[in-house]
Amino acid sequence: MTTKELTHFRTVLEARQTELETLLRNREVIAVNLNSDMLDQIQHAQEREMAIGNLERASTRLSEVRSALQGIQRGAFGICLDCEQEISMKRLTAVPWTTSCLACREAADRTGMLAQNAIEKPALNAA
Protein backbone atom coordinates (compact mmCIF):
# COMPACT_ATOMS: atom_id res chain seq x y z
CA MET A 1 0.00 0.00 0.00
CA THR A 2 1.35 3.45 -0.89
CA THR A 3 1.75 6.31 1.60
CA LYS A 4 -0.91 8.21 -0.33
CA GLU A 5 -3.40 5.36 0.10
CA LEU A 6 -2.58 5.07 3.81
CA THR A 7 -3.07 8.81 4.26
CA HIS A 8 -6.43 8.52 2.52
CA PHE A 9 -7.58 5.73 4.83
CA ARG A 10 -6.32 7.58 7.90
CA THR A 11 -8.33 10.66 6.88
CA VAL A 12 -11.46 8.57 6.33
CA LEU A 13 -11.02 6.73 9.63
CA GLU A 14 -10.31 9.89 11.63
CA ALA A 15 -13.42 11.56 10.25
CA ARG A 16 -15.45 8.48 11.17
CA GLN A 17 -13.90 8.42 14.66
CA THR A 18 -14.87 12.06 15.29
CA GLU A 19 -18.40 11.42 14.02
CA LEU A 20 -18.86 8.40 16.29
CA GLU A 21 -17.33 10.12 19.32
CA THR A 22 -19.75 13.03 18.88
CA LEU A 23 -22.68 10.63 18.56
CA LEU A 24 -21.70 8.73 21.69
CA ARG A 25 -21.08 11.93 23.66
CA ASN A 26 -24.67 12.94 22.88
CA ARG A 27 -26.18 9.70 24.14
CA GLU A 28 -27.35 11.20 27.45
CA VAL A 29 -29.17 13.95 25.57
CA ILE A 30 -30.90 11.28 23.48
CA ALA A 31 -31.92 9.33 26.59
CA VAL A 32 -33.45 12.41 28.24
CA ASN A 33 -35.40 13.35 25.12
CA LEU A 34 -36.79 9.86 24.78
CA ASN A 35 -37.86 9.70 28.43
CA SER A 36 -39.73 12.99 28.17
CA ASP A 37 -41.99 11.67 25.39
CA MET A 38 -44.72 9.72 27.19
CA LEU A 39 -47.55 10.23 24.67
CA ASP A 40 -47.08 7.09 22.65
CA GLN A 41 -45.66 4.31 24.78
CA ILE A 42 -45.21 1.81 21.96
CA GLN A 43 -43.55 4.24 19.62
CA HIS A 44 -41.49 5.48 22.54
CA ALA A 45 -40.26 1.98 23.35
CA GLN A 46 -39.42 1.27 19.72
CA GLU A 47 -37.57 4.55 19.36
CA ARG A 48 -35.63 3.94 22.54
CA GLU A 49 -34.75 0.45 21.41
CA MET A 50 -33.59 1.78 18.07
CA ALA A 51 -31.54 4.53 19.71
CA ILE A 52 -29.92 2.03 22.07
CA GLY A 53 -29.21 -0.32 19.15
CA ASN A 54 -27.65 2.53 17.21
CA LEU A 55 -25.48 3.50 20.16
CA GLU A 56 -24.32 -0.07 20.68
CA ARG A 57 -23.42 -0.33 17.01
CA ALA A 58 -21.71 3.06 17.13
CA SER A 59 -19.71 1.98 20.16
CA THR A 60 -18.59 -1.26 18.46
CA ARG A 61 -17.77 0.61 15.27
CA LEU A 62 -15.76 3.20 17.20
CA SER A 63 -13.48 0.53 18.67
CA GLU A 64 -13.04 -0.99 15.21
CA VAL A 65 -12.14 2.42 13.77
CA ARG A 66 -9.69 3.02 16.63
CA SER A 67 -7.90 -0.30 16.13
CA ALA A 68 -7.70 0.38 12.39
CA LEU A 69 -6.03 3.72 13.17
CA GLN A 70 -3.64 1.93 15.53
CA GLY A 71 -2.95 -0.49 12.69
CA ILE A 72 -1.92 2.42 10.48
CA GLN A 73 0.48 3.63 13.21
CA ARG A 74 1.98 0.17 13.62
CA GLY A 75 2.27 -0.29 9.87
CA ALA A 76 -0.13 -3.22 10.04
CA PHE A 77 -3.11 -1.61 8.35
CA GLY A 78 -4.91 -3.73 5.77
CA ILE A 79 -3.54 -7.02 7.10
CA CYS A 80 -6.08 -9.70 8.04
CA LEU A 81 -5.86 -10.52 11.77
CA ASP A 82 -6.85 -14.12 11.12
CA CYS A 83 -4.74 -15.26 8.16
CA GLU A 84 -2.24 -12.34 7.99
CA GLN A 85 -2.86 -11.87 4.27
CA GLU A 86 -3.38 -8.43 2.76
CA ILE A 87 -7.02 -7.36 2.65
CA SER A 88 -8.08 -6.32 -0.86
CA MET A 89 -8.16 -2.62 -1.67
CA LYS A 90 -11.77 -2.98 -2.81
CA ARG A 91 -12.81 -4.33 0.61
CA LEU A 92 -10.79 -1.70 2.50
CA THR A 93 -12.38 1.06 0.46
CA ALA A 94 -15.84 -0.24 1.33
CA VAL A 95 -15.05 -1.07 4.99
CA PRO A 96 -11.84 0.77 6.04
CA TRP A 97 -12.12 -0.42 9.69
CA THR A 98 -12.26 -4.10 8.81
CA THR A 99 -9.70 -6.37 10.45
CA SER A 100 -10.30 -9.49 8.38
CA CYS A 101 -10.21 -10.39 4.71
CA LEU A 102 -13.34 -11.43 2.86
CA ALA A 103 -12.60 -15.15 3.11
CA CYS A 104 -12.08 -15.02 6.90
CA ARG A 105 -15.09 -12.76 7.33
CA GLU A 106 -17.32 -15.14 5.41
CA ALA A 107 -16.00 -18.07 7.41
CA ALA A 108 -16.74 -16.16 10.65
CA ASP A 109 -20.24 -15.30 9.41
CA ARG A 110 -20.94 -18.95 8.68
CA THR A 111 -19.74 -19.94 12.16
CA GLY A 112 -21.82 -17.12 13.67
CA MET A 113 -24.92 -18.27 11.84
CA LEU A 114 -24.41 -21.83 12.99
CA ALA A 115 -24.02 -20.64 16.59
CA GLN A 116 -27.17 -18.53 16.26
CA ASN A 117 -29.13 -21.49 14.91
CA ALA A 118 -27.95 -23.59 17.81
CA ILE A 119 -29.23 -20.95 20.24
CA GLU A 120 -32.55 -20.42 18.48
CA LYS A 121 -33.39 -24.06 17.95
CA PRO A 122 -34.37 -24.95 21.56
CA ALA A 123 -36.59 -21.84 21.68
CA LEU A 124 -38.42 -22.97 18.54
CA ASN A 125 -38.91 -26.45 19.99
CA ALA A 126 -40.24 -24.96 23.21
CA ALA A 127 -42.79 -22.87 21.29
Radius of gyration of the chain measured on its C-alpha atoms: 19
DSSP run (H or E) holding 34: helix 27-36
> What's the CA gap between 58 and 67, in Å, rounded?
14
CA atoms 19, 22, 25, 30: torsion sign: negative
Choice from 20, 80, 92, 99 touching Zn ion (CB under 5 A)? 80
Choice from 34, 95, 104, 107 touching Zn ion (CB under 5 A)? 104
Site string for Zn ion, 30-69 (x = CB under 5 A): ----------------------------------------
Cα end-to-end span (Å), the chain: 53
Does 81 participate in binding Zn ion (rule CB under 5 A)?
no
Residue 102 CB, shortest distance to Zn ion, in Å, is: 8
Size of the site for Zn ion (CB under 5 A): 5
Does 101 participate in binding Zn ion (rule CB under 5 A)?
yes
Q: For the chain, how many helices (H) and strands (E)? A: 5, 0
Choice from 45, 50, 83, 89 touching Zn ion (CB under 5 A)? 83
Where do contacts with Zn ion occur on this chain (CB under 5 A)? 80, 82-83, 101, 104
